[in-house]
């Protein structure tokens, strides 16, 4: 009886050992056949490091006019300009940044009325290296003209006018170039002007990059751009690849403008 019990116990143990061995072999086989999991590798490509903006005596004024004065957009764009170029302080000292951002009409109030002529007072005594206007209001051409009155051509600085709401011919006369949006063709000059009403002025897609390009262009080309055969190339470089440009053609005379360009999205 004792021998039979031992035999049964031995047989049971042997069965358990065989079962464990088979389980181990099966497990190893599954692990061997299983595909290794690929670890997720984070994109190690880093944005190029931009040097912090440095203080400068020279100042570049950016005027946010019609269509570019919403509190959210101005705050966002001003913060970007601060991070990239630095903002000038209230005294426009040489220990402050490059950009003087001004918003119409809030920064031009005389009493309760916005007067663009205040631009001359704001920049009086400042070493201005350039002015960029977006949606310039009425009579902006008068204020801009004063920066070139009674001065030698060598003292002029670049003035870029983007999507102005002021008189076009007058803006052409005081700007390196004028940039406008395409409007529906018409033989009536009043219809064209009405198509550009202040109330219809909206932010141009990609304008933030155009502003950056314009600033960089002024920094690299401190003299006004000449109204010659090279001007379209300069303007193309500033607006980038998103838009195509063509010279503005006066609907009444059929004459092409020298420094007034129309932009339209590339097809």
Residue 28 reports pLDDT greater than 90? no
Q: Which two tokens stand for residue 16?
A: 């358990």
Nearest to 207 by CA among 91, 27, 62, 44: 62
- Domain ranges in the chain? 59-265
61 vs 59: CA distance, rounded Å: 6
Residues 51-63 have pLDDT tens digits of: 889 999 999 999 9
**Which residues, 6 or more positions from 192, have their beta carbon under 8 angstroms from its beta carbon?**
183, 186, 251
Flag the least confident range among 17-31, 72-86, 107-121, 203-217. 17-31
CB atoms within 10 A of CB 155: 9
10 vs 27: CA distance, rounded Å: 26
User: Which DSSP helix (H) or strand (E) runs through 219?
Assistant: helix 207-220
3-state secondary structure of 158: coil
Task: Report which DSSP code applies to 262.
Answer: E
pLDDT attached to residue 267: 74
CB distance 144 to 123 below 8 Å: no
Residue 103 reports pLDDT greater than 90? yes
Q: What is the CA radius of gyration of the chain?
A: 34
Select, from the ranges 10-19, 68-77, 195-204, the one with the highest average predicted confidence (pLDDT). Answer: 68-77
Average the pLDDT over 141-166 and give the result: 95
Average the pLDDT over 94-108 and give the result: 97
CB distance 225 to 158 below 8 Å: yes
C-alpha distances in Å from residue 50, one per residue of 43, 47, 154, 160 = 20, 9, 32, 25
Q: Strand pairing partners for 177?
A: 160
Residue 43 reports pLDDT greater than 60? no
Half-sphere exposure of 258 (CA within 13 A, CB side): 12
106 vs 75: CA distance, rounded Å: 13
């Amino acid at each position: 009886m004792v021998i039979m019990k031992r035999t049964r116990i031995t047989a049971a143990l042997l069965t358990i050992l065989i079962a464990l061995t088979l389980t181990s072999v099966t497990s190893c086989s599954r692990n061997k056949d299983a595909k290794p999991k690929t670890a997720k590798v984070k994109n190690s490509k880093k944005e190029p490091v931009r040097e912090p903006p440095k203080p400068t005596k020279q100042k570049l004024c950016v005027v946010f006019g019609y269509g570019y004065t919403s509190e959210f957009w101005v705050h966002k764009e001003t913060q970007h300009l601060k991070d990239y170029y630095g903002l000038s302080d209230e005294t426009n000292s040489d220990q402050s940044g490059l950009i003087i951002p001004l918003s119409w009409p809030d920064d031009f109030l005389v009493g309760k009325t916005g007067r663009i002529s205040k631009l001359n007072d704001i920049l009086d005594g400042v070493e201005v290296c350039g002015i960029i206007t977006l949606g310039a209001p009425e009579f902006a051409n008068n204020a801009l003209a004063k920066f070139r009155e009674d001065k030698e051509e060598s003292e002029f600085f670049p003035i870029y006018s983007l999507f102005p709401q002021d008189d076009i011919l007058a803006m052409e006369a005081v700007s390196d170039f004028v940039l406008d949006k395409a409007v529906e063709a018409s033989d009536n000059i009043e219809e064209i002007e009405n198509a550009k009403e202040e109330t219809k002025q909206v932010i141009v897609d990609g304008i933030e990059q155009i502003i950056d390009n314009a600033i960089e262009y002024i920094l690299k080309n401190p003299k006004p751009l000449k109204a010659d055969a090279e001007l379209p190339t300069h303007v193309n470089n500033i607006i980038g690849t998103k838009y195509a440009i063509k010279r503005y053609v006066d609907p009444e005379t059929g004459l092409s403008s020298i420094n007034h360009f129309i932009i339209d999205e590339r097809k």
